Structure 1
Amino acid sequence: MLQQYFIELGEGYGDIFELVELMKTNQKRLHRTFIFSSNTNGGQAISLAAVFHPAQDSKFMPIYICREGIKQIDDKKSKRRVLFEKAAEEVGQEPIFIELKHSSEFADHRLFYQYITGILRLNHLVPPLQ
């Protein structure tokens, strides 16, 4: 059974660089990239994510995410978001923008990730459970 699992990276610059490096070094496995936006007090919280096809015969489809680490107060994109978008473009991807509930609205981060997985599956952005 193919399952998607979130692997949470941190929220800082170094974590964005790690996500970008994963995208570049695993370009052949890269399935899709995402920018998730959530409304917060005083602006938006941006999450960046990359989904990869399973390695070899694995049934594990990793989704690496930098969760809500980028605060956006106006329409100006942050340097981290621009870096992510540029890297995605370099590997032939255009990040898909999705508006979500903020993770603080969920009792546990696992529920938040189940919520995102459901949205991605319903919109055929990741494969369904098989």
Structure 2
Amino acid sequence: MIQRFIELGEGYGDVFELCELARLNRNRIHHAFLFTSKKEDKEYFSIAVALKPINNANFFPIYICREGIPKSEAVPKRLSAFKETLEELEIDPIQIDVKHSSTFVDTNLFYQYIIGVLRLNNLIPPLQ
């Protein structure tokens, strides 16, 4: 099974697009994720939704808005929009601390690392 991250952007429009993808594919949602990472003593959130494959397709997409939401004292609007959407869909996000993507030379290596973390924790299906 091919497991691939599909990166949306970091802005408001991208988060709302991810929320709408979740609403339209509510029956396909495998898990929703809230990744936290640190860079230079600042914390950032990434939000993601993993969808089950369609029919007999061998493709497991994970849509992500990567590290675009800085942690602050007040809950950021983009994060609250994502959480509200998940509450509406009755889905609890899985929160995982990960390394910041700047730790890796290439974003593909970062996504391979995240896929490894998710597989080790049995949060996405193993390769077949």
TM-score, length-normalised on structure 1?
0.95
The one-letter amino acid of 1:68's match is E
Alpha-carbon shift at residue 55 of structure 1 (Å): 1.4
The one-letter amino acid of 1:79's match is K
Runs ≥4 residues deviating over 6 A: none
- 1:53-103 Cα offsets, whole Å, 9 max, x none, are 0112110000000000001144x3211111101111211210011001000
Unaligned runs of 5+ in 2: none
Alpha-carbon shift at residue 111 of structure 1 (Å): 0.3
SS of 2:45 mapped into structure 1: strand
* Percent of aligned positions that are identical: 51
Cα RMSD of the aligned pairs, angstroms, is: 1.0
Equivalent-residue separation in structure 2 for 1:94 and 1:77 (angstroms)? 17
TM-score, length-normalised on structure 2?
0.96
Equivalent-residue separation in structure 2 for 1:88 and 1:101 (angstroms)? 24
Equivalent-residue separation in structure 2 for 1:37 and 1:86 (angstroms)? 18
Q: Which residue of 2 aligns with 1:67?
A: 66
Alpha-carbon shift at residue 41 of structure 1 (Å): 2.1
- Aligned pair 1:12/2:11, yes or no? yes
Q: Which residue of 2 aligns with 1:34?
A: 33
Equivalent-residue separation in structure 2 for 1:117 and 1:109 (angstroms)? 12
SS of 1:55 mapped into structure 2: coil
Alpha-carbon shift at residue 22 of structure 1 (Å): 0.3
- Aligned pair 1:89/2:93, yes or no? no
Equivalent-residue separation in structure 2 for 1:71 and 1:42 (angstroms)? 11
CA contact (8 A) 1:13 1:80 kept: yes
CA contact (8 A) 1:42 1:73 kept: no
CA contact (8 A) 1:43 1:73 kept: no
SS of 1:5 mapped into structure 2: strand
Larger CA deviation: 82-91 vs 9-18: 82-91
- Aligned pair 1:22/2:17, yes or no? no
Q: Which residue of 1 aligns with 2:114?
A: 116
Q: Which residue of 1 aligns with 2:126?
A: 128
